[in-house]
Chains A and B, each alone.
Chain A
Amino acid sequence: MNQRLTTAQAMDGREGTTHEVAPDSRRRARRARRLRQGTVALALVAPAALAYLVFVLRPIVLTFQYSLYKWNGVGASTWAGLSNYAALVKNPDLSGSIVHAFELILFFSIIPVALGLFTANTIRGFAASKIALVSRTVLFVPQIIPLVAAGIMWSWLLSSNGVVNQILRLVGLGGITRAWLGDFSTALPAVGVIGAWVLFGLCMLLLLAGMSKIDPALYEAARIDGAGSWREFFAITLPSVRQELGVCLTVTVINALASFDIIYISTQGGPGNTTLVPGLEIFYLAFSQRQVGMASALAVALMVLVLAVVLPLQRITRDSDS
Chain B
Amino acid sequence: MIVSRREALLGRALLIILMVVTVLPFVSLFVTALHPSGTYPSGLSWPATPHWGNFAAAFKAAGMAQLMWSSTLIVLGVVPVSLLISTLAGFSLGQLRPPGGRAIFIIFVLGLTLPFQGIVIPLYYQMRDLGLLNTRWAIILPLIGLYMPFAVMWMRAHFVTMPGELSEAARIDGAGTWQLFWRIHVPLSSPALSSLAILLFLWTWNQFFLAVVLVDDATKRTMAGALGAFQGQWGTDIPLLCAGSLLILTPTLVVFLVFQRRFVAALLQGSVKG
Contacts and interface: CB of A to CB of B under 8 A. Distances in A.
A102 interface: no
B28 A137 contact: no
Interface string A40-72: 111011011101111111111011001000000
A99 interface: no
Interface string B198-242: 000010011011001100000000011101100100000010011
A260 B272 contact: no
B119 interface: yes
Given A4-B169, A126-B11, A205-B264, A44 B92 contact: yes
Contacts of A39: 98
Main secondary structure of the interface of B (DSSP, over half): helix
Contacts of A244: 272
A265 interface: yes
B260 to A, nearest CB: 6
A146 interface: yes
Contacts of A142: 22
A59 to B, nearest CB: 4
Contacts of A286: 120-121, 124
Nearest to A298: B117
A278 B120 CA distance: 13
Contacts of A131: 12, 15-16
A103 to B, nearest CB: 17
Given A125-B11, A149-B245, A287-B124, A220 B1 contact: yes
B252 A144 contact: yes
A42 B227 contact: no
Interface in B225-274: 225, 227-228, 231, 238, 241-242, 245, 248-249, 252-253, 256-257, 260, 263-264, 267-268, 271-272, 274
A164 interface: yes
Nearest to A252: B271
Contacts of B245: 149, 152-153
B25 A146 contact: no
B145 A51 contact: yes
Interface in B67-126: 84-86, 88-89, 91-93, 96-101, 104, 107-108, 111, 113-126
B48 interface: no
Contacts of A122: 7, 10-11, 14
Interface string A137-152: 1111111111111101
A283 B118 CA distance: 10
B157 interface: no
Contacts of B122: 58-59, 62-63, 66
A7 interface: yes
A254 B24 contact: no
A234 B10 CA distance: 20
Contact of A306 (B10, B92, B115, B252): B115
B3 interface: yes
A96 interface: no
B43 interface: yes
Interface string A213-229: 00010011001000001
Interface in B143-171: 144-146, 148-149, 151-152, 165, 168-170
The size class of the interface chain A forms with chain B is 35 or more
A258 interface: yes
B114 A303 contact: yes
Contacts of B264: 136-137, 140, 205
A292 B123 CA distance: 13
B115 A257 contact: yes
A156 B32 contact: yes
B142 interface: yes
A201 B206 CA distance: 18
A176 interface: no
A261 to B, nearest CB: 5
Contact of A166 (B44, B125, B141, B224): B44
Nearest to A125: B3
A236 interface: no
The 3 closest A-B pairs by CB, nearest first: A55-B145, A258-B115, A41-B98
Interface of B: 1-3, 7-8, 10-12, 14-16, 18-19, 21-26, 28-29, 32, 40-44, 84-86, 88-89, 91-93, 96-101, 104, 107-108, 111, 113-126, 141-142, 144-146, 148-149, 151-152, 165, 168-170, 172-173, 177, 181, 202, 205-206, 208-209, 212-213, 223-225, 227-228, 231, 238, 241-242, 245, 248-249, 252-253, 256-257, 260, 263-264, 267-268, 271-272, 274
29 contacts: A41-B98, A42-B92, A45-B89, A45-B101, A49-B148, A59-B126, A60-B118, A60-B119, A63-B122, A123-B12, A131-B12, A147-B206, A147-B208, A148-B224, A149-B227, A152-B227, A156-B28, A157-B24, A159-B43, A197-B21, A229-B7, A247-B272, A250-B274, A279-B115, A292-B121, A296-B121, A299-B119, A300-B118, A306-B114
